[in-house]
Amino acid sequence: MALTLYDLAGADADRRFSPYCWRIRLAIAHKELPVETIPWRFTDKEVIAFSGQDRVPVLVDAGKALAGSWTIANYLEQNYPNGRSLLGGPVGAALTRFVESWSDTILLPSLLPLILVDVFEHLHEKDRVYFRSSRERRLGMTLEAACADRDKKVFGFRQSLEPLRATLKMQSFLGGTTPNYADYIVFGGFMWSRSTSPFELLEKDDPVALWRDRLLDRFEVARMAPGYDT
């Protein structure tokens, strides 16, 4: 039976833009599992209330509901052990937690002031008031103010990727010769941007851009998703 994934969508139901949902979409593709994705909007809280919380990704497998990208990735690893490992065993999983923490506390917050206004432009009409008010309350400023001077901010963003860049100069993927969940965590941030923003985050010859391309080449689900080829 196919898995069911509740996946954040924009005005266009095919435009999926959650960095956390992208982690799981690639984890499912990595495990080569069939999945039905259900487009979900921020204000569709009652649709996922059965999961006991109000965020996506939510995965349903044979009637069991799971929420939170880390929980879901571990569930997939444990319940679908055939084929390539997602996390690389207990040591790999422990190191991957660092990658997750770096992504959640540095990468995604640094991407926010570069793409937030573009994310807003792609939202479903019914999500706009909620999104603007919740994000502006959190940021303490308007979306537009948060994204001011992004042409300058992007240089600091590129500089902050140096640990990632240095690693990708030595190896093709964070997972080594083939990608694993550590790659999908970081790549999720770049899919958030790709699916919503024409803003050019990376220079074309940046090793991070070349890694992003290698992942797009491997995963048709990402390459073919509505987005901007920047």
Q: How far is the CB of 137 from ligand GSH (least distance, A)?
A: 11
Q: Which is nearer to ligand GSH, 51 or 216 (CB)?
A: 51
Q: Which is nearer to ligand GSH, 20 or 219 (CB)?
A: 20
Q: Which long-range contacts (CB under 8 A, 24 or more apart) does 116-119 make?
A: 116/143, 116/146, 116/147, 117/143, 117/144, 117/146, 117/147, 118/196, 118/197, 118/198, 118/199, 119/17, 119/192, 119/196, 119/197
Q: Which is nearer to ligand GSH, 29 or 67 (CB)?
A: 67
Q: Is there binding between residue 87 and ligand GSH (CB under 6 A)?
A: no
Distance CA 142, CA 147 (A): 9
Beta bridge partners of 5: 37, 59
Distance CA 40, CA 25 (A): 14
Q: Which is nearer to ligand GSH, 168 or 192 (CB)?
A: 192
Among residues 22, 42, 120, 187, which is the contact residue for ligand GSH, using CB under 6 A?
A: 42
Among residues 9, 27, 28, 56, which is the contact residue for ligand GSH, using CB under 6 A?
A: 56
Q: How far is the CB of 66 from ligand GSH (least distance, A)?
A: 10
Q: Is there binding between residue 55 and ligand GSH (CB under 6 A)?
A: yes
Q: Is there binding between residue 8 and ligand GSH (CB under 6 A)?
A: yes
Are 196 and 15 in contact by the 8 Å Cβ rule? The answer is: yes
Are 24 and 57 in contact by the 8 Å Cβ rule? The answer is: yes
Q: How far is the CB of 211 from ligand GSH (least distance, A)?
A: 22
Contact residues toward ligand GSH (CB under 6 A) are 8, 18-20, 42, 55-57, 68-70
